[in-house]
Structure 1
């Protein structure tokens, strides 16, 4: 944890930041002097951070029976996330490779296809069609696991938070499918993809969540490799399990991809710079920006201005409540309006805590959702 007064006190930090604010407990300092210097900034946020800290227990409540903090003293792996993946025997395997710091960099990967597998037995992963269609909106991981007949010791939620967050955001937006060329369609503009570019196969779960619908997802962001700009990936079957004689390996794609499929198209660059090209073929029903970091990147300002002018529903997510709060202030300042979707906990957040080098507040991928 970094000293909150780093760079403000005019002198280097005295050591490790182990002295925490006694009121909120969210920030740490290397010394009493640095804590005193930082108070003129911290006093405006202290009560808000204390409220966020009070939600630690709520955010860490998941129905799963697997442990995300395995005990592995004197282990050679570099992080707790690596230890967790090793404990479930998927470290650096298939779709799980990008989940730890040992994983590959996006730019170094030559193939962003959807051939990666779950690397676990069929009873633990959604590798085939669900037994029944969704009859009511799914509101929690427990709902999803029950519908998919998955045991709560299955760790697939660690990866499925991407498509389930998209599903949840569509529910929040109350967006209905439209008819295009005689088929039901949903056009999603998905901003700022990074890690999920190496996990595209998990988006196959949208086939089960939206049966009979053709989802067209435009993935737009600087992290898209230049060599992949314009690439189209069609998903019409689920990622395979590790069982060689499972039906998932013999299933065939439907003859008509438009009737029930997920089409992903990659666009390198910033959304406001690429929108005119993207919109020629795909007018969005929803803009989704996972783990957006709106307050951290000035490039969001022209994008938000453009979204406001076009009048597109837009949902953002972020790792922690403070990032969502700062983002909401930026959005309201740019648009001159309050949020259309207030900040709220995402029931489909990733069930492994992320490290936060600046604050002690709870942090999970896709943790909070809010929107214009």
Structure 2
């Protein structure tokens, strides 16, 4: 379904601007707004590709698993709860970004996934360079394809679609260097979260997670974690139970929007994929 050749990795990693472009023709990437509103919640990559009118051989999932993780985490964290569907602003605290920092334009797809909602994402982690600490990035357009004559090159056409314009559902990213429990007070002066998302967390492998788990428990808001394999999630669940005294609230489950490229040179003798399994508290 997907090829691993680096020419298909969609954004130029040397350019960190929110104006990055897909290195793909328009028929293979979501360079403008969707043609129609989602009739139901997306449940897998096939649903997403059909909704965005993309062929299954498009490689965009190699990057879009990050915004789709945010989307799906919201679905499972607030399942059955009223009020979230009607919110006009959504605040997400995204812990531990690394590779995402070179592909931030991928988060522009949140405009399509949350039509009419302004999305505020605080990306917090030690991998953020010192010089980028506090940097704010506003994404009010979709990343363009490589076609010079594509309609995505016209901002007025790009934003005009069957769904609410990206202008009304713009994404704001802010970068914060450091551990979440150290930066929490600074962040919440501007942004108290509806949800915490931690991709490929590795909770059992890093002792620095323990004070963060304690903090999330005190905050009493939902948090969704992902990891590369199911065993890592079970180890993390034990760590969380030892800190909080409670079992995880969202059971370990396969992420239907995991990245479809296996992790190479893994020390484990089992298949590992980025954002492969999910669980939450």
Give the TM-score of the pair, scaled to structure 2. Answer: 0.92
Q: Does 1:142 align with 2:58?
A: no
1:189 to 93, 97, 101: 93
2:28 is aligned with 1:124 = yes
Aligned to 1:280: 189
Separation of aligned partners in 2, 1:299 and 1:356: 25
Partner SS for 2:8: coil
Cα separation, 2, equivalents of 1:234 and 1:227: 18
Q: Determine if the alignment matches structure 1 residue 217 to structure 2 residue 121.
A: yes
Q: Would the aligned equivalents of 1:178 and 1:185 in 2 still touch at CA under 8 Å?
A: no
Structure 1 unpaired stretches of 5+: 1-63, 69-83, 98-108
SS at match of 1:159: helix
| 1:332 Cα deviation from its structure 2 partner | 1.1
Shift, 1:134, TM fit: 1.1
Match of 1:337 among 246, 252, 255: 246
Question: Residue 202 of structure 1 corresponds to which residue in structure 2?
Answer: 106
**Could you say if the C-alpha distance between residues 218 and 334 of structure 1 is closer, same or farther in structure 2, counting changes exceeding 3 Å?**
same
Q: Take 1:356 and 1:371, find their aligned partners in 2: how far apart are those partners?
A: 28
**Which of 1, 8, 20 is the equivalent residue of 1:90?**
8
Cα displacement string for residues 16-66 of structure 1 (whole angstroms, at most 9, x for unaligned residues): xxxxxxxxxxxxxxxxxxxxxxxxxxxxxxxxxxxxxxxxxxxxxxxx3x4
Give CA-to-partner distance per residue, 1:187-216, whole Å, 9 cap, x none: 000000000011111111110111110000
Task: Determine which structure has greater relative contact order: mean sequence separation of CA pairs < 8 Å that are 6+ residues apart, divided by chain length.
Answer: 2
Q: Note the 1:66-105 alignment, pairs <5 A.
A: 66=2, 68=3, 84-86=4-6, 89-90=7-8, 95=11, 97=13
SS in 1 for 2:5: helix
Gaps of 5+ in 2: 160-164
CA distance in structure 1 between the aligned counterparts of 2:93 and 2:265, rounded to whole angstroms: 28
Is residue 140–residue 348 contact of structure 1 (8 Å, CA) maintained in 2? Answer: yes
Indicate how the Cα distance of structure 1 residues 369 and 299 shifts in structure 2: closer, same or farther if over 3 A, else same. same
Select the structure of larger CA radius of gyration. 1
Aligned position for 2:211: 302
Q: Decide which of 69, 78, 102 is 1:165's aligned counterpart.
A: 69
Q: 1:96: Cα distance to partner? A: 5.8
Sort the Cα spacing of 1:178 and 1:309 in 2 relative to 1 into closer, same or farther, 3 A: farther
Is 1:178–1:186's contact at 8 Å kept on the other side of the alignment? Answer: no
Q: Quick one: distance in 1 between partners of 2:70 and 2:250?
A: 15
Question: Structure 1 residue 258: deviation in Å?
Answer: 7.3
In structure 2, C-alpha distance between the alignment counterparts of 1:188 and 1:307, rounded to whole Å: 13
Q: 2:270 aligns with which of 361, 365, 369?
A: 361
CA distance in 1, matches of 2:16, 2:211: 29
Report the equivalent of 2:162. none
Q: Secondary structure at the match of 1:95?
A: coil
Q: How does 1:220-299 map to 2 (within 5 A)?
A: 220-252=124-156, 259-299=168-208
Partner Cα separation in structure 2 for residue 321 and residue 122 of structure 1: 36
Q: Structure 2 CA distance, aligned partners of 1:242 and 1:345?
A: 34
1:259 deviates by: 2.9
1:190–1:288 contact (8 Å) kept in structure 2: yes
CA displacement 1:136-190 (0-9 Å, x = unmatched):
01001000011111011111111110111110000001161565xxxx0000000
Secondary structure of the equivalent of 1:206?
A: helix
Give the RMSD, CA atoms, in angstroms: 1.8
Counterpart secondary structure, 2:171: strand
Instruction: Output one character per residue of 1:247-278: Cα deviation in whole Å (capped at 9) or x when no partner.
Output: 11111487x98731000000000000000010
Task: Find the counterpart in structure 2 of residue 349 from structure 1.
Answer: 258
**C-alpha distance in 1, partners of 2:272/2:116?**
35
